[in-house]
Structure 1
Amino acid sequence: MKRLPIPGLLLAAALSCMPRAHGAPALPVVPLLIGDTLDEQGRPRPMPAVKRKVLDAVAQELGVRFEPRTYPWARAERYAIEGVGLVYGLPKTADRLRALHYSDTASHNSLWLVTRSDATFPFHRLDDLRGKTVGTVRGYSYGLEFDSARGKLFRTDEDISSRGTRLTRLMLKRVDVVLLFQPDGLSAKDLEDSIRSFMAPRLPAIGAAANTGFSVLPKPLSTDSGQFFAIARSKDDGIIDRINAALARIRKREEDARRQRTPN
């Protein structure tokens, strides 16, 4: 995909809803860099409904239409730092915070550990991964503490952002544990059920190794892992402030709706 720079002036223009000739309000398009999600053949998978809901809500508040441009995470990060455009879902690190201006939290995830059912282990802290091989997405950061322990406390097996591929490698004992994000509010049991349903049509091709089944360890590696918008600091013309204001309005409406549903 050809890389098109998005200067600050274009972002500013995109966020001012210019009327069309016949008077109807326009919906300016704002390109949005996102890490890709692939199937086992390396083909893009549809955006998860939870993520689409967040992006649609923010876009509606801003009066724009986001145009997702998906790349491997390492490339999406590079493009964001180079000032190509707005990025969503890139975790915070010290280096990124120096280069990028991040929004407030747009959504929350928990990071769960998935093992084979015959190879579960007690997990309470990062040290419990000592000596293990952890399946991760290539080019993705799982937080400063985890990244600092790579290659020291444990080794990582980095692969494409295909859940099916990484879970297959788990069944084949290429890795000891796989890291998977799950939206907040869903439990380890919810994720286990989702994995079993997702992998059911894939298990016959794996063979006898698939007879073990999957287990999600009861304690996640991290909770309340935020998802953010971000843009190169040199390209921020106020878009992050506008996104923060939009997120605040969305949260207020959700809180008001919850209060109305709660009996006095």
Structure 2
Amino acid sequence: MISHARRRLLRTAPLLLASALGLPAKAEPQPVTLIVGESLDESGKVKPLRPWQRELFEYLEAELGVKFQVRLYPWARAERNARNGAGLVFGLPKNPERLRELRYSEAAVSNTLWIVTRSDATFPFASLADLKGKSVGAVRGYGYGAEFEQSRNKLFRVEEDIPSRATRLQRLFLKRVDAVLLYQPGWQNAAEVEAELRTFAAPLARELSLPQGLTLSVLPHPLQVGNQQFFAMSKGKDEGLIDRINAALARQQKPASLPKTRRAP
């Protein structure tokens, strides 16, 4: 076992060597708590960050000289912690109440909100009026825009569920809901989203012993286009971090590996 004195020597030796050589000592990255809403897999376990999220966070860590300590929570808890000043939050949609308490960054990435149905139960969709009388599956604690919220449980019925794609699609297959709302990166079109979902849902369809050929469809007209995602922080705890994030996003050269705020299909 390494003694306390030896451990302290190992920590300070690089600093002493840098000083002796006249080199500037490398500062330790500043720890920053980063709150992200969780998603669950088919077993109910929290899924890791998506690759594009990791790329974005690593880019900002390098630009800002910070080390994100990522905390994954259900959205309701994520919002509560952010409002209480527990850290920076990513992906929490804007609304008037949140804007009073949180300071938001410029848009970091853009998503599109699609409507998913069973392949044997599609319907024409051009506006919210086309959802009249239908049951729509949504994630508990998540917002889908002012117009949607004003029509919630009036024009259509909203069935809230946990943020598990497999669980939500299973309810759709079993006709517990008529449609499911699903955010996907803004650079994907309806055909690409549909192909991805059909591949994902194929084992689930077999497990449920569904009729041969029954799968999922993505309605060609999205519910929302250019739904932007932001960083946000309690106004009393910001201390300039949001300004630094905005500057880093403005400097971003947007290589192919990073998420891009593209024009939605």
- Counterpart of 1:61, as a letter, is E
Deviation at 1:209, TM superposition (A): 5.6
TM-score, normalised to structure 1's length? Answer: 0.85
The question of 1:72 aligning with 2:66 is answered no
> What is the aligned partner in structure 1 of residue 10 from structure 2?
none
Deviation at 1:237, TM superposition (A): 0.8
> What is the aligned partner in structure 2 of residue 215 from structure 1?
217
> What is the aligned partner in structure 2 of residue 115 from structure 1?
117
Match for residue 174 of structure 1 among 166, 173, 176: 176
> Highest CA radius of gyration, 1 or 2?
2
RMSD over aligned Cα, in angstroms? Answer: 1.5
Match for residue 15 of structure 2 among 21, 28, 31: 21
* Distance in 2 (alpha carbons) for counterparts of 1:25 and 1:140: 38
- Counterpart of 1:176, as a letter, is D
Deviation at 1:27, TM superposition (A): 2.3
> What is the aligned partner in structure 1 of residue 167 from structure 2?
165
Match for residue 37 of structure 2 among 15, 35, 38: 35
Deviation at 1:201, TM superposition (A): 2.2
2:83–2:102: 8 Å Cα contact kept in structure 1? yes
Deviations 1:31-77 (A, max 9, x none): 10110010122201121112222222222211212121011001100
Gaps (5+ residues) in structure 1?
A: 1-19, 256-264
> What is the aligned partner in structure 1 of residue 193 from structure 2?
191
* Distance in 1 (alpha carbons) for counterparts of 2:79 and 2:97: 11
Deviations 1:162-204 (A, max 9, x none): 0111011111000111111111111111111111111222222
Deviation at 1:210, TM superposition (A): 7.4
Say which SS state the counterpart of residue 228 (structure 2) adopts.
strand
* Distance in 1 (alpha carbons) for counterparts of 2:60 and 2:113: 24
1:172–1:209: 8 Å Cα contact kept in structure 2? no
**C-alpha spacing 1:98/1:53, structure 2 compared with 1 (3 Å):** same
* Distance in 1 (alpha carbons) for counterparts of 2:238 and 2:229: 18
**C-alpha spacing 1:238/1:130, structure 2 compared with 1 (3 Å):** same
Equivalenced residue count is: 234
Deviations 1:199-227 (A, max 9, x none): 22222221126742110000110011000
> What is the aligned partner in structure 2 of residue 137 from structure 1?
139
- Counterpart of 1:143, as a letter, is G
Match for residue 225 of structure 1 among 227, 247, 252: 227
* Distance in 2 (alpha carbons) for counterparts of 1:223 and 1:21: 51
* Distance in 1 (alpha carbons) for counterparts of 2:158 and 2:174: 16
> What is the aligned partner in structure 1 of residue 258 from structure 2?
none
* Distance in 2 (alpha carbons) for counterparts of 1:238 and 1:209: 56
**C-alpha spacing 1:183/1:210, structure 2 compared with 1 (3 Å):** farther
Gaps (5+ residues) in structure 2?
A: 1-13, 17-24, 256-265
